[in-house]
Structure 1
């Protein structure tokens, strides 16, 4: 039994091993530092297993991010925890998961739990232990905080359903964008085994919504929805292929988020891309997140952003600006009369500022000063907008001219792409971004 195997390892040592093993899961970001309270301020920062994310109301919250075990029966070539790697191994017990969660919560380090796992013995064996931990946490300890659990493909339907009534969010990692990539790098996994639990969660969520309409006190099943994760750069798929896969997942499975994880070279294997010294493809990950926002919030279709002839995103311009430059016949847009759907396509206008424009223009004509107050990023929008038939400055509606001027704005790119900083997007599918954040996406 797992309890017998782990008696010689202290819970602190397990925490160190299993938080480090969880750092490659990009569903949330880690604090990465330890800083105690010196008595002059409020709060503290704990290194082990604390990740920061955002709730639906915009609050920054902290989650305990750990693996239940880094033991694994699979030998995925890209994974640090694969069976053939010689790394320190550890497994928590259900009681230890409860103890850690409650003790971290009582110290005000966390507000919730993010629990993933390797595969110990079998998917059902591992998920049964995770279920025991969550059940005890919810019933014995009465923990009502946020819980996100990673479901293991191959787990029985009955067990997944029981878990879904304990967790707020459930996710099943797609791992790689295509079935061919899985066969190459994760031969123990198949696309069918991965998609089956996604479909189960989707169907059960719909049934649960109907149950809640009939019985208000009905227990909620995965109320925060499901998400998934793809590794980017380990296999040769183009951005065109990846964004089409993401679009299909949103449409067919009703996912809340697709996460993109830049491939990190942690193993040596002939099937993996050769080391180049350039590090993970963070700029590519960044562009995919921007395109993902366009799919989810800006009513774009994947086929509008890329084509088979032009299958990868522009390294210098974000996907929305790139689309606008390829469709200059649509512009300039008159801000006082344009449809909401067209305003969303103007670089510099986010979905929040587009909504503000539509509401405000009912009461009078808008000018560029009004747009600035509403959060419109005029340094981008001025090339594509008119107010009462006039542009902000005399500009040419020419691709080369606008491109040169947009590049002079110097968009903030990931580290390694101009030396700028990079921020991983949030775990949650939240409408929380203000105008400052909109500038990086819109």
Structure 2
């Protein structure tokens, strides 16, 4: 294999941006890289500008592959070695020129760079390092960079690349080692987890270095993430969410991304092609559950079990948990702990915090909750104010479920000044840093 030089940059761009569309691990920066006046660009914690494709996938930043050449033959991948697809590769200088020109035109605020495996993991990582080194040192680019590390590359290359990137990710690919062995036999769980552990350990060491020496170089300041393909192998939601929880706890990941399996290849080991398309609803439920793990103090074992291994297609995971645990409801809003308020459907962590602060100054009632952003259309079945509910309801699972699913339900007359609408689980969350609620709704 060799780097393509016969194509124009525009032709390569068309091929390699299209080849990158299946990689969803692309999100706001979560880090700050201020310009020192000698270069171009900056990176704010408020995040990177986003746009979305028709199916809801994030396509922000300049999102490209260095190459779609690959020595591996993963059965689910459009760029696998055995596929007859048009191949292309950038040079490091082309990556730099594209990034700078897109940035100058205000099309992007950063770079998302991934790659197929050209010749070997080390050879590919050398090329990625050369591109990022030129971009940072020769082109003085100080904007956000997210790079994908190649499993199997040397520790030294992973470390050197981490000094240039804001975020680094290593794709887990599939939730279990069995699935990986079936569909990606050239990859192993060991080669994937080793760079994750290296990044985690080096980040901790870097924090100590920065505490001692303020000007010490920063290593992956925005943390690391990973991606799992959902639906290509028969794992249950319970297995997947347990894997995600373990990754957060053991490797300190910032995000786990879930990518609904898209049928781009024919193979006997892949699920049969259907007219239903990618399992996007399942992907969405996993993102909602992932949010509960990271911000709402839930554990995976509370959301699902071996007896009930998959999420409800009609109700979000938080509502589903509440309906299965009606014995703990209704919750008195003026006395309940912050942790318990987080478990009330219709209450987000922002509104729960507002409640905790406001009730120090006086007793709260339902009109007060509405002003705080509580989605009373959901919360009214699970909350009391001063010992009373908004209106009499049966604390029965079937009754509440029917009402939650009936978006046209009318409330009794006499509840003056109250208007309701059916919202998503996180609609009361307002991000001041540039990330809109719909980003959470679509991408967790």
Class of the TM-score when normalised by the shorter of the 2 chains: 0.7 to 0.9
Q: For 1:373-388, list aligned pairs within 5 A.
A: 373-388=371-386
Q: Does the aligned pair in 1 maintain the 2:49–2:108 contact within 8 Å?
A: no
In 2, the alpha carbon distance for the partners of 1:74 and 1:439 equals 34
Task: Structure 2: give runs of 5+ residues left out of the alignment.
Answer: 28-42, 51-59, 409-423, 425-430
Match of 1:233 among 220, 231, 234: 231
Secondary structure at the residue paired with 1:8? coil
In 1, the alpha carbon distance for the partners of 2:153 and 2:347 equals 44
Q: Does 1:124 align with 2:122?
A: yes
Measured after TM superposition, the shift of residue 244 of structure 1 is 0.2
In 2, the alpha carbon distance for the partners of 1:128 and 1:440 equals 35
In 1, the alpha carbon distance for the partners of 2:315 and 2:382 equals 15
Measured after TM superposition, the shift of residue 306 of structure 1 is 0.3
Q: Does the aligned pair in 2 maintain the 1:19–1:65 contact within 8 Å?
A: yes
Closer/same/farther in 2, CA of residues 59 and 87 from structure 1, 3 Å limit: closer
In 1, the alpha carbon distance for the partners of 2:285 and 2:129 equals 37
What whole-Å deviation, never above 9, does each CA across 1:69-107 have from its counterpart, x for those lacking one? 000000000000000000000000000000000010111
User: Which residue number in structure 2 is paired with residue 222 of structure 1?
Assistant: 220
User: Which residue number in structure 1 is paired with residue 46 of structure 2?
Assistant: 57
User: Which residue number in structure 1 is paired with residue 302 of structure 2?
Assistant: 304
Q: Does 1:162 align with 2:151?
A: no
User: Which residue number in structure 1 is paired with residue 53 of structure 2?
Assistant: none
Secondary structure at the residue paired with 2:61? strand
Task: Structure 1: give runs of 5+ residues left out of the alignment.
Answer: 30-53, 411-421, 423-428
User: Which residue number in structure 2 is paired with residue 407 of structure 1?
Assistant: 405
In 2, the alpha carbon distance for the partners of 1:264 and 1:346 equals 35
In 2, the alpha carbon distance for the partners of 1:336 and 1:438 equals 29
Measured after TM superposition, the shift of residue 393 of structure 1 is 1.1
Q: Does the aligned pair in 1 maintain the 2:148–2:168 contact within 8 Å?
A: yes
Secondary structure at the residue paired with 1:313? coil
User: Which residue number in structure 2 is paired with residue 153 of structure 1?
Assistant: 151
Closer/same/farther in 2, CA of residues 201 and 438 from structure 1, 3 Å limit: closer
Q: Does 1:357 align with 2:355?
A: yes
Closer/same/farther in 2, CA of residues 132 and 433 from structure 1, 3 Å limit: closer
In 2, the alpha carbon distance for the partners of 1:335 and 1:227 equals 36
Q: Does the aligned pair in 2 maintain the 1:151–1:160 contact within 8 Å?
A: yes
Measured after TM superposition, the shift of residue 437 of structure 1 is 7.7
In 2, the alpha carbon distance for the partners of 1:153 and 1:439 equals 31
Secondary structure at the residue paired with 2:63? strand
Deviates most, 285-294 or 359-368: 359-368
Closer/same/farther in 2, CA of residues 59 and 109 from structure 1, 3 Å limit: closer
What whole-Å deviation, never above 9, does each CA across 1:21-76 have from its counterpart, x for those lacking one? 001111238xxxxxxxxxxxxxxxxxxxxxxxx97426635410000000000000
Measured after TM superposition, the shift of residue 438 of structure 1 is 7.8
Q: Does the aligned pair in 1 maintain the 2:48–2:61 contact within 8 Å?
A: no
Q: Could you state the TM-score of these two structures normalised by the residue count of structure 2? A: 0.87
Q: Does 1:211 align with 2:200?
A: no
Match of 2:313 among 297, 304, 315: 315
Match of 1:89 among 72, 87, 90: 87
User: Which residue number in structure 1 is paired with residue 263 of structure 2?
Assistant: 265
Q: Does the aligned pair in 2 maintain the 1:377–1:439 contact within 8 Å?
A: no
Closer/same/farther in 2, CA of residues 403 and 365 from structure 1, 3 Å limit: same
Closer/same/farther in 2, CA of residues 88 and 154 from structure 1, 3 Å limit: same
Q: Does 1:328 align with 2:317?
A: no
Measured after TM superposition, the shift of residue 430 of structure 1 is 9.8
Measured after TM superposition, the shift of residue 288 of structure 1 is 0.3
Q: Could you state the TM-score of these two structures normalised by the residue count of structure 1? A: 0.87
Q: For 1:259-298, list aligned pairs within 5 A.
A: 259-298=257-296
Measured after TM superposition, the shift of residue 178 of structure 1 is 0.2
User: Which residue number in structure 2 is paired with residue 242 of structure 1?
Assistant: 240
Q: Does the aligned pair in 1 maintain the 2:229–2:258 contact within 8 Å?
A: yes
User: Which residue number in structure 2 is paired with residue 175 of structure 1?
Assistant: 173
Q: Does the aligned pair in 2 maintain the 1:56–1:432 contact within 8 Å?
A: no
What whole-Å deviation, never above 9, does each CA across 1:340-373 have from its counterpart, x for those lacking one? 0000000000011111111111111111111111
Closer/same/farther in 2, CA of residues 76 and 59 from structure 1, 3 Å limit: closer
In 1, the alpha carbon distance for the partners of 2:360 and 2:104 equals 50
User: Which residue number in structure 1 is paired with residue 391 of structure 2?
Assistant: 393
What whole-Å deviation, never above 9, does each CA across 1:205-236 have from its counterpart, x for those lacking one? 00000111111111110000000000000000
Consecutive aligned runs of 4 or more in structure 1 exceeding 2 Å deviation: 54-62, 429-442
Deviates most, 362-371 or 287-296: 362-371
Match of 1:78 among 76, 92, 99: 76
Q: Does the aligned pair in 1 maintain the 2:210–2:216 contact within 8 Å?
A: yes
Q: Does the aligned pair in 1 maintain the 2:342–2:352 contact within 8 Å?
A: yes
How many positions carry a matched residue from both structures?
Answer: 401
